[in-house]
Structure 1
Amino acid sequence: MNFEETVKKVLTNSLKMVKMYEWLLDLYVLDFFVDDHWSKLPKSWQKVFENMDASSLGAIISGKHTNHMLPLSFLALVRAIEAYSLSRKRLFDPESKIPISNYLGHPKLKNLFLKHVKLKKRHEISLMADIVKLTALDADCNAVVDFGSGLGHLVRMLAYKHEFHAAGIECQTQLTEEARKLDLELEYTVKKHLNADSISKLHQPTHYNITLSSINQLDELSLPETMENFGLVGLHPCGDLGPLLLKYFVNSSKVKYICVVGCCYMKLSCGGGNTGYPMSSYLAALDNGLSFVSREIACHAIEVYCERLVKGDYQDLKVHAYRAALERILVDNDPKLKHAPVRSIKHTNSLTFHRYCALATERLNITLPKCERAWAQGEDDLQKWRRVVTVYTLRLALAPLVETVVLLDRVLFVLEHGLSCTIHPVFDPKISPRNHIIIARRK
């Protein structure tokens, strides 16, 4: 079985599991009490999870051993998730495969590219730059365009450290201007340590301020002559931007490679013609619908969440129950207030339910009910907060299957166009939950 057939098989099986448990994925947490989500679980699941500590559930979802007697249907689900989801464990280390960098020729410039960069972003841009370097060497193309370049941290590393002819595209003018200032700041620092000859060889990135909405705009870019052919990079492009870059890659012979990490799946346009999902002809012919709620939960951090459960650090997760209990009060008071945009309030042990409701609704200009029965119902709901955590955890366990469907659809789209394409979990998922990089190049 070749790689394309393997992708189709895994994609089909993942989608089948998603469809089988669509009823669970589509349970919106704030509707927990309004729609009685607990009653939707199989009776055997209710019986087991009713008295199970959240730490034990976190251990089960994390694949750790437990002495609990679990329903066969649940065990089968856990095994299916393990079998059909893309592995999220970091296995690919690009750093060991590329030539050692000289950090611009001076040891004091080693950490220059990490200045002004938060820890999460440091992890991402360092590994992403290494991946791009490897891919570019393989494609024999030393030029790159970074989409959604923000403050230019990645494109700056690619240009100055890895000596790419690089351009960054960002839709926010303020970020583009700040990126140019950071380039100048870097060069000012470099001049203190390098000679004139070394400085003259620096590759300064070009920054463009463009809102990208169609692939035609990319053909209209006035790139430098050194970038006649180039690669595309997208580090967590939002919604349809990732699919847009992949479409441009397969349709433009001047794009030699692409490295893209997906994000914000809930913002994808779905169904119909030129959409972000599905992309492949194979998946388009199947029953492929994914709800907004299922795509949204596929963007959450399952490793960090389960680790907190295992450690018993889940008291603040009561806020989900607070919100769900408030939703019942609001809907009972006025059905038009369903899913009202209440404020996000962080839970603390000293926060009473009354206080939470007052803070959450203070911008809505509504009067909360004063009858004791409504508040008694709310307090009773809060006693069931562990049920809310349990159902949310079960939904989160399915999230990797949804992400697998979205990502393998993109991989298959590239393969269907006769181009080389792979996918690797490169980032540490505890630091960067969307950690799979799709890498494709022209053969």
Structure 2
Amino acid sequence: MSEVDVLRSLFHHADQLLTQYRPFWQMRPFYIRQLSECSQLPEHLLSKLTKLDQKEFEQLSQNSEASQQWLQPWLPCLDELEQIQRSIPGVDNSETSSQQDSVSIKHLSTGIPGRKWSQIEQFINSLPITGDTAKHKLLEWCAGKGHLGRLLSIRKGYEVTSLEWQHSLCIQGEALIHQQKKRYPQLQQRMQQGDALSDDVSRLLNQHNTAVALHACGDLHTHLISQCCNSAQAIKQLAVAPCCYHLTADDIYQPLSKAGQGSLLSLDRQDLKIPLQETVTGGQRVSRLRDIELHWRLSFDFLRQSLTGETRYKPLPAFPKKLLSGEFNDFVLWALINRELLSDNHDSDNLPFNEREMSQALTEGAEKLLVVRKLEWLQSHFRRVLEIWLVADRALALEEAGFHVELYQFCDKAVSPRNLLILARR
């Protein structure tokens, strides 16, 4: 079977399972009060899930073998889902790393978090560079401060243009180029401020023969792929690690490939967020704060509904995480002011709820959180396959445009769960 056939087979297998078992993952856990509301799911499954208390559920959900056995009557596809995930090979860059030139790059990592630097290094090591790189002009898409492009230029000899929208990041990037050029005179890089979604990028792309994008969000990376699919485009090599699929202007996902356009799946932004629920654990403290945040968000919503008479969950925006180190009262005060249900001259001792109502909200919030966890657990078995479906759709669009395309996992999930890499060349 050719690589094209393998990619198509992968997509269609994922599409078939996602379509067949849609009720198990295409749901809104935060908007569901009781498991009994999930009428699309098997009644016996809901009954057994409801009977699991928090301790029993945690023990079950944290044991993959027990989970698979427990779910087998309703999800006989679990082995197939695992098979799809295992079909994306990892990149063996051990040889690449061991054969790197003698250039020391430790100074380039200054000020970059360790995990981010590991992502940059492993992304670069995954690229199968061909030909004379000295003649290659590379465009770094959505570059930030240009860290990726800087390493590509120093280590692999590219002449790099780093495209970035934010002026402040371009200024900082230029300063880093000036600083690092003293240590690495071979560095060939320039920052260019510009909008990756503008019409001007077509001209910019035509001035380069290689483009790379590490974790460009949503429309930013799909626009790059769409531009490169144009037969008149000069880009011959493309490396894209997608991220944040939900950050798109379209209310409903618009597949890029013909295969994707033939799918029966209809995905909105909430569906596109499902793959992002898999995160890298930041330690016990981060995990504890995440649990507190979800509990308090849900608990506050019970209080909000009692004030407004609404019965539908309404999410809160991001907030200063220092609130989680305080009291629930302080969080409720912030949330009430944010929702314009209280003026900002109030304090946490003057809330429109008594102690019993606050305590009851926390109890109901904890019960609702367990419901959310159980439904997200069902979703989790399809999370990675949905992401593979999305990335394969992008890869197939490039294949349909004449590229030779391969999919890899460029790093371990502990480095980044967004580790799928599209490599394309023509």
Flag whether TM exceeds 0.5 (same fold).
yes
Q: How does 1:403-422 map to 2 (within 5 A)?
A: 403-422=387-406
Aligned equivalent of 2:238: 258
Q: How does 1:191-202 map to 2 (within 5 A)?
A: 199=185, 202=186
Structure 1, unpaired ranges of 5+: 191-198
Aligned residues between the structures: 410
Aligned equivalent of 2:305: 331
Q: Deviations over 1:166-193 (max 9, x none)?
A: 1110011111111110011112345xxx
Please state whether the residue corresponding to 2:126 is helix, strand or coil.
helix
Q: Equivalents in 1 of 2:262, 2:366: separation in Å?
A: 46
Q: Equivalents in 2 of 1:189, 1:177: separation in Å?
A: 19
Aligned equivalent of 2:45: 44
Q: Equivalents in 1 of 2:362, 2:251: separation in Å?
A: 42
Q: Equivalents in 2 of 1:390, 1:30: separation in Å?
A: 11
Structure 1 position 91 matched with structure 2 position 90: yes
Aligned equivalent of 2:339: 364
Contact 2:407/2:423 (8 A) holds in 1? yes
Q: Which moved more, 1:91-100 or 1:149-158?
A: 91-100
Q: Which moved more, 1:367-376 or 1:165-174?
A: 367-376
Structure 1 position 378 matched with structure 2 position 352: no
Q: Equivalents in 2 of 1:37, 1:407: separation in Å?
A: 32
Q: Which amino acid aligns with 2:245?
A: Y
CA separation of 1:73/1:137 partners in 2, compared to 1, >3 Å: closer, same or farther?
farther
Q: Which amino acid aligns with 1:123?
A: S
What is the percentage of aligned positions where both structures have the same residue?
Answer: 17
Structure 1 position 230 matched with structure 2 position 242: no
Q: Equivalents in 1 of 2:336, 2:56: separation in Å?
A: 31
Aligned equivalent of 1:122: 117
Aligned equivalent of 1:196: none
Q: Which moved more, 1:366-375 or 1:400-409?
A: 366-375
Please state whether the residue corresponding to 1:396 is helix, strand or coil.
helix
Q: Equivalents in 2 of 1:268, 1:319: separation in Å?
A: 26
Q: Equivalents in 1 of 2:86, 2:133: separation in Å?
A: 26
Q: Equivalents in 1 of 2:172, 2:376: separation in Å?
A: 40
Please state whether the residue corresponding to 1:365 is helix, strand or coil.
coil
Q: Which moved more, 1:380-389 or 1:417-426?
A: 380-389
Contact 1:342/1:360 (8 A) holds in 2? no
Q: 1:50 deviation in Å?
A: 1.3
Q: Which amino acid aligns with 1:426?
A: F
Backbone CA RMSD of aligned residues: 3.5
Structure 2, unpaired ranges of 5+: 343-350
Q: How does 1:55-204 map to 2 (within 5 A)?
A: 55-60=58-63, 63=64, 65-66=65-66, 70-85=70-85, 91-97=90-96, 100-104=99-103, 109-132=104-127, 134-137=128-131, 142-190=136-184, 199=185, 202-204=186-188
Structure 1 position 285 matched with structure 2 position 280: no
Q: 1:244 deviation in Å?
A: 1.6
Please state whether the residue corresponding to 2:129 is helix, strand or coil.
helix
Please state whether the residue corresponding to 1:237 is helix, strand or coil.
strand
Q: Equivalents in 2 of 1:85, 1:102: separation in Å?
A: 34
Q: Equivalents in 2 of 1:165, 1:172: separation in Å?
A: 22
Q: Equivalents in 2 of 1:319, 1:373: separation in Å?
A: 21
Please state whether the residue corresponding to 2:372 is helix, strand or coil.
helix
